[in-house]
Amino acid sequence: MTERTIFLRLLRLAAPFWRWMLLAALLGVLTILSSVALLAVSASIIARAALRPSIADLQVTIVGVRFFGITRGVFRYLERLLSHEANFRLLARLRVWFYTALEPLAPARLVQHRSGDLLARIVADINTLENFYVRVLAPPLVALVVALVVALFLAAYDGRLALAVLGWLALAGAGLPLLSRWLSRGAGEALAAARGELNVTLLDSLQGSADVIAFGQQAAAHDRVQRLNRELAHWQQRMGWLRGMDAAGGALLVNIAAVSVIALATPLVRAGTIAGVDLPPLVLATMASFEAVAGLPAAFQYLGHSLAAGRRLFEIVDDTGHAETRYSVSSSNPPPISNHSITFETVTFRYAPDEPPALADVSFTLDAGQRIAVVGGSGAGKSTLVNLLCRFWDTDMGRITLGGHDIREYDAEHLRARIAVVAQNTYLFNTTIRENLLIGRREAAEEELIAAARGARIHDFIQSLPQGYDTWVGEQGLRLSGGERQRIAIARALLKDAPILVLDEATANLDALTERDVLAAIHELMRGRTTLMITHRLSGLEIFDSVLVLQAGRLVEQGTHADLLRANGIYRRLYEVQRQEFKD
C-alpha cells in the first residue's frame, strides 16, 4: 500500500470533522496574524516614539497593541479548544472504526496476530494518529494563508520584499521539512515497529511470568526487553536529533530573512520610498510570520509516524480472508429457517492456497434434534467443521446448508445467533460471574440466570462464594478451576438457548471426576438441540445418533458407536487404544 493511498484513507476517516478542523485552522491563522500585528504595531510605537510626537498621534497604535495582545490570547485559546475537540472526536471515531472492522475477523482470522501486537495497534498506533490533524493537516494550511497575508502586507511597500520573504518562508516551510523527511526516511516506521515489538514482548513476559520464573528464564526475558528498549530509544533519539536540527535551521532562516528585509529596505528608506519608522515593523512582522512555518518540519516527521501507524491499522482492516469480505453472498433479507438441520455437501477447504486441504469432499447430514459426534486425531479437520459452520471462514468448494439454505445466504451475526458453542478453552472476562454469564443473553432475568447455572451444575458452587454471582473471576477466569470454567461456559450456552449446539473438545484437559460432572451438565444442554460434538475421547458416544471419523481431512467412517465397533476399522482401533490407556 502506497503512502499516498494511506494518506487519502486517513483523510477520509477525518472527513466527518472537516468543519471543526477548518474553523480551528482559521483560528490558528488569526492567532499568528495577531502575533504578527502585535509585533509590528509595537515596533511602530517604539519607532514613532523616538521622534517625540504628540501622544494623540500614538493613540491608534496603542489601542492596536492592546487589541492584538488580547485577540492573540483569545484566538489561541479557542484554536486549542476546537482543535483538541476535533482531535478527540477523531480518535473516538478511529477506535470505533477499528474495533468494528476487527470484530468480524475474530476469532479465526486473528490467530496469526499476537495479542500484544493487536494491543499495540489498538492503543499506541491509534494514539499516534492524534497528531494527524493537529500537527500534520492544520499547519500547512495555516502557514499558506499567513504567508500570503504577510506577502500582501510587504508588497504594499515593495514587491521585492514580499518575494524575498516568501522565498525564505518556502525554504523554512518546505525545503527544511523535505530535508528532514529525507534524513528520517524509514525512521517513523522503525519507531512504530520498535514500539509495537516492545509492547508485544512486555505483554507476553507478564502473561507468561509464572513459566518464565519456573524455568529460570528471567535473565533472558530481561535481556530481550532491554534490547528492544534500547532499539526504541535509538529511534526516539534519532527523531529528537532531527527535531533539534529543524529548530536550529528554522531559527537560522528567521534571522536570514530579517537581514534580507533590512538589506532590501534600507536603500528604499534612503530613497524616501519607505518611511524610516516603517522599517522596524517590516522586520519584526517578517520574523513573527515564521511562527506559521515553525511547525512544518515536525509535521513531516509526524506525517511519517501517522503513515506508519495507518499502515499497521489498515493491514488488519484489509485482511480479506474472513468470510464477511471473501464472499458477498449474504443477503439483507435472509430466507426463513424452517428447521435446524445441517448438511455438509462435498465440502473442501484450505486455510491457505499452498496448504493441503483441511477438509476434502466431506458430506454428512445432521437432522434437526439429532446428535452427531466427530472424532479423529489431531489435525484431522474436526475444529475446521466448527470454523466453517460458524462462518469464521467459508468453504472453497461445496456448501453448508441450514434448513435447506446455504448458510452464506445469512449474515454471520444472524447465523451465529442460532448457534451456541462450548469450546475447549473457554474465555472468561475479568469481571463478575454474573457478567460472564450474561454474555449468553444480556437481557436475561435473574431467575433465568439461576436456572441456567442449575442446569450446568454450577449454582451451588457460586452460592458458596462470599459474593455469589457478583464474585470476580480474575484475569481469564484463573480464580476458578478448569471444570468450573467449563460449567460456566455451559451455563452461558444454556442461557443463550440456541437451537444448535456445538461442543468443541468441551471436556478436554479435565480429570475423570470433573469430566463426569461436566458431561452430566452437557447432557442437560444437549436435550432438544441439534448437536455437533467434536471430541478425541470415545467414551460416552453410545448416546449419539451417529459418529463421524475424520482422517487427514477426509470422512473415512460413519455410523453409530456400535456399528463402528463391529466394523473393526479405524474407530475400533482408536477405541481399543483409549481403553488400554485407561487400564494402564
Average pLDDT over residues 396-401: 92
- Bridge partners of 550, per DSSP, are 555
Q: List the grid coordinates of 157.
A: 511597500
Q: Apex CA 68: angle with CA 64 and CA 73, to 5°?
A: 155
Q: Is pLDDT larger for residue 86 or for residue 155?
A: 155
Nearest to 503 by CA among 388, 422, 426: 422
Tell me if 560 sits within 8 A of 567, measured CB to CB: no
Helix 59-102 vs helix 296-317: angle between axes, to the nearest 10 degrees?
20
DSSP state letter for 360? E
Q: Would the pLDDT of 364 be above 90?
A: yes
Alpha-helical runs (H) found in 271-330: 279-289, 296-317, 323-326
Other C-beta atoms lying within 10 Å of the C-beta of residue 498 = 20
Helix then strand count (H, E) for the chain reads 24, 10
d(CA 419, CA 218): 44
DSSP state letter for 293? T
Nearest to 501 by CA among 477, 545, 534: 534
Any idea which of 194-203, 207-216, 511-520 has the lowest mean pLDDT? Answer: 511-520
Q: Apex CA 363: angle with CA 361 and CA 366, to 5°?
A: 155
pLDDT score for 262: 92
Q: Is pLDDT larger for residue 118 or for residue 224?
A: 224
Sequence-distant contacts of 247-255: CB under 8 A, at least 24 apart? 247/297, 249/172, 249/176, 249/179, 249/297, 250/172, 250/176, 250/290, 250/293, 250/294, 250/297, 253/168, 253/171, 253/172, 253/176, 253/290, 254/172, 254/287, 254/290
DSSP state letter for 510? -
Helix 279-289 vs helix 18-49: angle between axes, to the nearest 10 degrees?
150
d(CA 200, CA 97): 23
The rounded mean pLDDT for the chain is: 84
**pLDDT tens sequence across 172-187:** 888 887 877 777 667 7
Average pLDDT over residues 540-567: 91
**pLDDT tens sequence across 440-499:** 888 889 999 998 888 888 898 999 988 999 999 887 777 888 888 888 888 888 888 889
pLDDT score for 283: 92
Cα 207 to chain centroid distance, Å, stands at 20
Q: Would the pLDDT of 321 be above 60?
A: no
Q: Is pLDDT larger for residue 418 or for residue 304?
A: 418
Q: Is pLDDT larger for residue 44 or for residue 581?
A: 44
Nearest to 242 by CA among 197, 178, 311, 171: 178
Sign of CA dihedral 476, 479, 485, 489: negative
Q: Would the pLDDT of 550 be above 80?
A: yes
Q: Are strands 397-402 and 359-366 parallel, antiparallel or unpaired?
A: unpaired
Q: List the grid coordinates of 539.
A: 467414551
pLDDT score for 401: 93
Nearest to 310 by CA among 298, 318, 299, 322: 318
Q: Would the pLDDT of 103 be above 80?
A: no
**pLDDT tens sequence across 141-168:** 899 999 999 999 999 999 999 999 999 9
pLDDT score for 27: 93
**pLDDT tens sequence across 334-359:** 777 778 899 999 999 988 788 889 99
Read off the pLDDT band of 58 (50, 70, 90).
confident
Q: How far apart are the first and last CA of the chain?
A: 58
Where are the chain's structural domains? 3-321, 329-418+538-584
Other C-beta atoms lying within 10 Å of the C-beta of residue 471 = 16
**Residue 219 CB burial class (10 angstroms; 0-12, 13-18, ≥19):** exposed
d(CA 172, CA 166): 10
Read off the pLDDT band of 545 (50, 70, 90).
very high
Q: Would the pLDDT of 319 be above 70?
A: no
Q: Is pLDDT larger for residue 539 or for residue 326?
A: 539
d(CA 401, CA 347): 11
Q: Is pLDDT larger for residue 171 or for residue 296?
A: 171
**pLDDT tens sequence across 243-262:** 787 778 888 999 999 999 99
Q: How far is CA 454 from CA 135, 146, 449, in A?
A: 58, 72, 9
Whole-number percent of the chain with pLDDT over 90:
27
Read off the pLDDT band of 324 (50, 70, 90).
very low
pTM for this structure? 0.62
Tell me if 129 sits within 8 A of 304, measured CB to CB: no
Average pLDDT over residues 125-134: 78
Q: Would the pLDDT of 320 be above 80?
A: no
Q: List the grid coordinates of 535.
A: 471430541
Q: Would the pLDDT of 300 be above 70?
A: yes
Match 460471574 to its residue by C-alpha cell: 433
Q: List the grid coordinates of 407.
A: 448458510
> Superfamily assignment of 3-321 in CATH?
ABC transporter type 1, transmembrane domain (1.20.1560.10)
329-418+538-584 belongs to which CATH class?
alpha beta
Tell me if 165 sits within 8 A of 290, measured CB to CB: no
